[in-house]
Structures are given as C-alpha cells and as structure tokens.
Amino acid sequence: MNYPSRLIEEAVSEISRLPGIGKKTALRLALHLLKREEEQTRSLSEALINMRTKTSYCEKCHNIADDRLCNICSSPRRDHSIICVVVDTRDVLAIESTNQYKGLYHVLGGIISPLEGIGPSDLQIDSLIKRIEHPEDSEPVKEIILALSPTMEGDTTAFYLQKKLKSTGVKMSTIARGIPIGGDLEYADEITLGRSIVSRVAYD
C-alpha cells in the first residue's frame, strides 16, 4: 500500500503491531487520530506511556495494581481464606465480572508449556506456596481454586500444582467444566460432554 505520508506509514506500522489489528484497521485508526484535536492524541499517548512505565504489580497476588497491594488483596470485604489461581489479569477480570466470587486471587503469569520453554520456575508458584504456609493475614488459607483453561498446558499446570501443594493440607478444587448454558448436547464435543457427565452435580 502506498501511503500519502511517511509519518502515516510509521503510525500504521506501529498500530498494526497490536493483536487483532491489521494494516487496514490501523490506517483507519491513524486517520481518525489525525482528524481529532491534537490534545486528544496527546492525552492518548500520555495515557499509554503512563500505563507502560507506572503500572506495578501486587506484591501478594501479582495482579496489576496501582499500589503495593491491589484493591482486591487490600479489601477487608474479601474472603482471605480462599485463593483462586489464574493465569493472568484477564482471567481475574473475567471472574470478577460474574460477581460470584468473593475470595482472593493468585496470578501465575503463565502456564507450564515445555514447547514454549516455560517451566514451573518461570511461574509465580513459590510465592503461592509462601502465601499458604506463611499467611500474612490473620486468617489462614483454607481452599485453593484452580481456575485454569481446560487445555493440555492448563491440565499439566493444575497437576503440578496439585502435587506441589499436597503437603500443605489445604483443600484444592477446580472450576466446573461442561456444557454452557443454552448449549445443545448434539453440538458439544466428546471431551466436554464426557467431563460434564463425570462432573455431574445433584439436581436441586
């Protein structure tokens, strides 16, 4: 594509590096910013720079935070005896959007994936064990919920954590897996349907 300006081409090149954005979408965004007030573009740039340079991570759960502790770990309204283990901040946001969970989180920062060269030492596992064995809160940890994706890597990570945490004696559970609400059985794959049968619950 021939761009009318080298500056436009550079902007498109950088914007298109973002996930899910191709050259055409990047061009539309670049032209949109070009038409906006200069102050609006400057505010966007400053917000992105501040996000990249000033964002910190919670010392306890490793979630994104503005202070030493995130607003979840520092909240007295949360149940500090339950920790939900997730891969990254996106999982925290997804679970929080349900308004069904009131415990704390622990962000691993990834999952075990030998093909990508990611091992247990690359994840925030040691700090999880420390939270269980030496809780900073007056209330000890009673349950660990493994909220990991049902993939080979996710199951491998869950299995490793189960073995690693077994000696702590803490209760361990995993999120339910099965047929989504409104889904038809005939369209469910065999693994999902099988897990739904195995993980069946009492009908109330």
Amino acid, single-letter form, for residue 199: S
Q: Could you read off the pLDDT of 102-152 as tens digits, one per residue?
A: 999 999 999 999 999 999 999 999 999 999 998 877 789 999 999 998 889
Give the separation between CA 164 and CA 42, rounded to whole angstroms. 49
Would you say 154 and 148 are in contact if contact means Cβ atoms under 8 Å apart? yes
Domains of the chain: 6-54 (1.10.8.420), 67-174 (3.40.1360.10)
Would you say 42 and 36 are in contact if contact means Cβ atoms under 8 Å apart? no
Q: What is the pTM of this model?
A: 0.82
Q: Could you read off the pLDDT of 161-190 as tens digits, one per residue?
A: 999 999 999 999 988 877 676 777 677 778
User: In this model, does residue 201 exceed pLDDT 90?
Assistant: no
Give the separation between CA 73 and CA 77, rounded to whole angstroms. 10
